[in-house]
């Protein structure tokens, strides 16, 4: 439960809160000790979230960076990043995956999503999932944005477990891959010529997205 709540102001135009400290360290690909268990735990969390009644839940918008809405919101960013990466990566398969993601239809059934199911918002203890934090982008809409974690953190075998446990259909899987692709392309473009941990991880994720058999 929040310890304090704040209202939007001139310096920060959104509602905010102060919460208690949760033990754990932000997840990294290397820190995971059991990729299959992590995939199963994440699928359990996402499934539980989706099972909540979505009636009157907050719709996507500027307030949550349009998570749960159409991927076309970020089409210009994705295509711009691809142009920056031309000559550094094989852009043809990335274009194909992006087009496939945009074409994959959502059935319009609102469900709850976290919206920023990223490594920094997953805490590990002893290499296992301990907590999911930062619900500032959650809402109801298309849940594909939460599927992106399958490529940004999970192993290939973990992706299979995650998908099967959630029962993700082909269209949602394609859109989720698109969410992962957009964010990773931007990260790779922004880190061209760099070799820090974040740059290496972005390249690892991009390779997983482009070569995944799913």
Reported confidence tier of residue 54, pLDDT bands at 50, 70, 90: very high
Q: Write down the pLDDT at residue 15.
A: 86
DSSP assignments along 101-132, one per residue? HHHSPP----EEE-S---GGGEEEETTEEEEE
pLDDT at 159 over 80: yes
Q: Write down the pLDDT at residue 14.
A: 85
Dist. CA 169–CA 96, nearest whole Å: 19
Give the pLDDT mean for 62-86: 97
Reported confidence tier of residue 213, pLDDT bands at 50, 70, 90: confident
- 8 Å CB contact between 26 and 123: yes
Average predicted confidence (pLDDT) for the chain: 96
Give the pLDDT mean for 36-57: 98
Q: Write down the pLDDT at residue 161.
A: 98
Dist. CA 29–CA 46, nearest whole Å: 19
Query: Which tens digits make up the pLDDT trace of 133-152?
Result: 999 999 999 999 999 999 99
Helix, strand, coil percentages for the chain (3-state, nearest 5): 50, 15, 35
CATH class of the 27-211 domain in this structure: alpha beta
Query: Which tens digits make up the pLDDT trace of 96-137?
Result: 999 999 999 999 999 999 999 999 999 999 999 999 999 999
Q: What Cα–Cα distance (Å) separates residue 198 from each residue in 118, 183, 205? A: 13, 13, 10
Query: Which tens digits make up the pLDDT trace of 169-199?
Result: 999 999 999 999 999 999 999 999 999 999 9
């Amino acid at each position: 439960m929040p310890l304090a709540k704040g209202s939007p102001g001139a310096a920060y135009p959104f509602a905010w809160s102060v919460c208690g400290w949760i033990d754990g360290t932000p997840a990294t690909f290397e820190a995971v000790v059991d990729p299959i268990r992590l995939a199963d735990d994440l699928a359990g969390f996402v499934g539980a979230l989706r099972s909540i009644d979505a009636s009157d839940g907050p719709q996507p918008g500027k307030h949550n960076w349009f998570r749960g809405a159409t991927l076309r919101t970020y089409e210009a960013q994705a295509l711009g990043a691809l142009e920056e990466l031309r000559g550094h990566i094989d852009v043809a398969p990335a274009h194909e995956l992006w087009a496939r993601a945009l074409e994959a239809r959502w059935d319009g059934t609102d469900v709850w999503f976290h919206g920023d199911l990223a490594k920094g918002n997953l805490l590990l203890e002893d290499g296992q999932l301990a907590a999911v934090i930062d619900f500032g982008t959650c809402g109801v809409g298309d849940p594909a944005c939460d599927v992106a974690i399958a490529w940004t953190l999970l192993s290939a075998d973990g992706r299979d477990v995650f998908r099967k446990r959630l029962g993700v259909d082909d269209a949602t899987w394609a859109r989720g891959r698109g969410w992962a692709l957009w964010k990773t392309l931007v990260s790779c473009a922004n880190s061209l010529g760099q070799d820090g941990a974040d740059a290496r991880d972005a390249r690892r994720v991009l390779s997983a997205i482009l070569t995944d058999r799913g």
